[in-house]
Amino acid sequence: MRVASFQFIQRNLDNISGRTSEANRQLGQMSSGKRVEYASDDPVAANGILNYKQELRKLDQYQNNINLAENRLRREETGLVSGENITQQVKEIMLGANNPAITQRERDAYKAELQSRIDEMLDIANTKDEFGQAIFGGFQTDTDPFTRQPDGSVSYSGDSGQREMMIGDSVKVGINHDGELVFGGVSNPRGDFTVKYHLGTEPREEQVRVESANIADKAGFTDAHPYTIEFMDSSPISGDISYRVTDNNGVSMPAPPADPAAYTSGDKITVDGVEIVIKGEARIGDKVTLSSAVQDGTGQDERGVFDILNRAKSWLESDGHNPSGQSEMIDILDELDAMGSHFTQVRADTGNRMQRLDNQKETHADMTLTLEKLRSGMEDLDYAKATGEFGQTMVALQATQTMFGKVQNMSLFNYI
């Protein structure tokens, strides 16, 4: 077969061009550090690389969500810690004010300090995150969830919504506790009712106090509160004390074994499905009133933070150095203890959520390392191997160029 000069030259040029392109491709890989830059380089590997990159981007988004959730929970935790500190400070104020020897100026100073703590607690309740959203408002995050009313009470306009953040495949974590729970869910240390004392002025060895008042028989409970427990003389001769319980209409509610029944400190009184335990030295004419802010048959087993603080404020504004005031002081201190414990419990749940974020963060970090290793094995260039292949390509290219140059100059005229 006869080979024309044109065909010979074209074939060699194509060979040189192909090897040059291969060398350029190898140089490009070594420059980028990628073995697969285009799907055409390795279609199967390119598909796997794309899947790994999608997973890595998803993990990166989860990591961003974790950082955001962690920031929200840390802000909440800071508020809860401040709430605990304020609660302790209020308790110290009340203990300091519970001294009959203090002057009016000192009493006014205690009142001003307590008002400052209440204002501070309100600021905490309306805390906002870095985006200006209320932390304790549930789903209602655009406005302050807590508002002071003209009478000094504080109302909640948020809801009980639980915001969640996706931090993994099918893994969510709550990033807030609503204000109704945090500032309205303090366990009532007296049970289902709050207590008002109307006691005589005579001093006594042991203060009268309601230890507990719980709805034991919900089926038999008629919600006829407030209940008034009045103490009276059983017998002018013995001097024993009896009691009678009346409902909100002043109707006597029979208490076994008789009405009135003999009073013994610490004994259980059962009326209208409610079990009441009263301790202390009761006197003739003493009255104790049990009431609840709700009338739905459930009683009031929770107290609001601002209700407790305002009750303490009312005690400071009145003369609490009498039997009624001292009995109420016992209740206030117990409510403050319950309030501090409540903040601690909510903070513990916040800590559990943050621990879950840390665990998920470690899981994502391990998975990221694994996926990066797999992606790198398919996409990244092996420089040692690539350098050797590039050297071989350059040797072949140089040989092709040299041979083509020599053969091209060969002619029969050189030998004639």
Same-domain pairing of 328 and 183: yes
At 287-339, the pLDDT tens digits run: 999 998 887 777 788 899 999 999 999 999 988 889 999 999 999 999 999 99
Q: Residue with structure tokens 């809860």?
A: 80
Under 8 Å between Cβ of 206 and 280: yes
Radius of gyration of the chain (CA): 41
User: Residue 344: inside a domain, yes or no?
Assistant: yes
Helix (H, G, I), strand (E, B) or coil at 291: strand
Nearest to 410 by CA among 110, 25, 12: 12
Kindly tell me if the per-residue pLDDT of 222 is higher than 60: yes
Range of the domain at 171: 36-188+301-380
Helix (H, G, I), strand (E, B) or coil at 136: coil
Same-domain pairing of 172 and 59: yes
Kindly tell me if the per-residue pLDDT of 33 is higher than 60: no
Which strands, in side-by-side order, build the sheet including 274-279?
209-215, 274-279, 268-271
What does the pLDDT read at residue 261?
A: 85
**Side-chain half-sphere exposure of 88, counting CA atoms within 13 A:** 8
Same-domain pairing of 17 and 162: no
At 1-22, the pLDDT tens digits run: 455 566 656 665 656 665 566 5
Same-domain pairing of 268 and 338: no
The DSSP H or E segment spanning 97 is helix 43-97
Same-domain pairing of 80 and 114: yes
Helix (H, G, I), strand (E, B) or coil at 128: strand
Model pTM score = 0.79
Same-domain pairing of 75 and 165: yes
What does the pLDDT read at residue 207?
A: 92
Kindly tell me if the per-residue pLDDT of 109 is higher than 70: yes
Number of domains, the chain:
3
Cα–Cα distance measured from residue 364 to residue 358, given in angstroms and rounded to the nearest whole number: 10
What does the pLDDT read at residue 52?
A: 73
Under 8 Å between Cβ of 186 and 339: yes
CATH of the domain at 53: 1.20.1330.10
Same-domain pairing of 65 and 174: yes
CB burial string 320-339: b at 16+ within 10 A, e below: bebbbbbbbbbbbbbbbebb
Three-point CA angle 273, 275, 278, nearest 5°: 150
Question: Omega of the bond prior to 203 within 30 degrees of 0, cis?
Answer: no
What does the pLDDT read at residue 51?
A: 81
What is the C-alpha end-to-end distance of the chain, expressed in Å? 25
User: Residue 394: inside a domain, yes or no?
Assistant: no
The DSSP H or E segment spanning 395 is helix 383-409
Q: Which of 243, 261, 293 is the last residue of a domain?
A: 293
User: Residue 389: inside a domain, yes or no?
Assistant: no
User: Residue 385: inside a domain, yes or no?
Assistant: no
- Amino acid, single-letter form, for residue 261: A
At 153-206, the pLDDT tens digits run: 999 999 988 899 999 888 899 999 999 999 999 999 999 999 999 999 888 889
369 — pLDDT class (breaks 50, 70, 90): confident
223 vs 332, which has greater pLDDT? 332
Same-domain pairing of 184 and 220: no
Averaged confidence pLDDT in the chain: 83
Same-domain pairing of 19 and 57: no
What does the pLDDT read at residue 395?
A: 62
Same-domain pairing of 181 and 78: yes
Nearest to 333 by CA among 317, 318, 311, 355: 311
What does the pLDDT read at residue 237?
A: 47
Same-domain pairing of 176 and 311: yes
User: Residue 97: inside a domain, yes or no?
Assistant: yes
Q: Residue with structure tokens 């790994």?
A: 52
- Mean pLDDT in residue range 58-76: 92
User: Residue 390: inside a domain, yes or no?
Assistant: no
Same-domain pairing of 245 and 127: no
- Mean pLDDT in residue range 132-147: 92
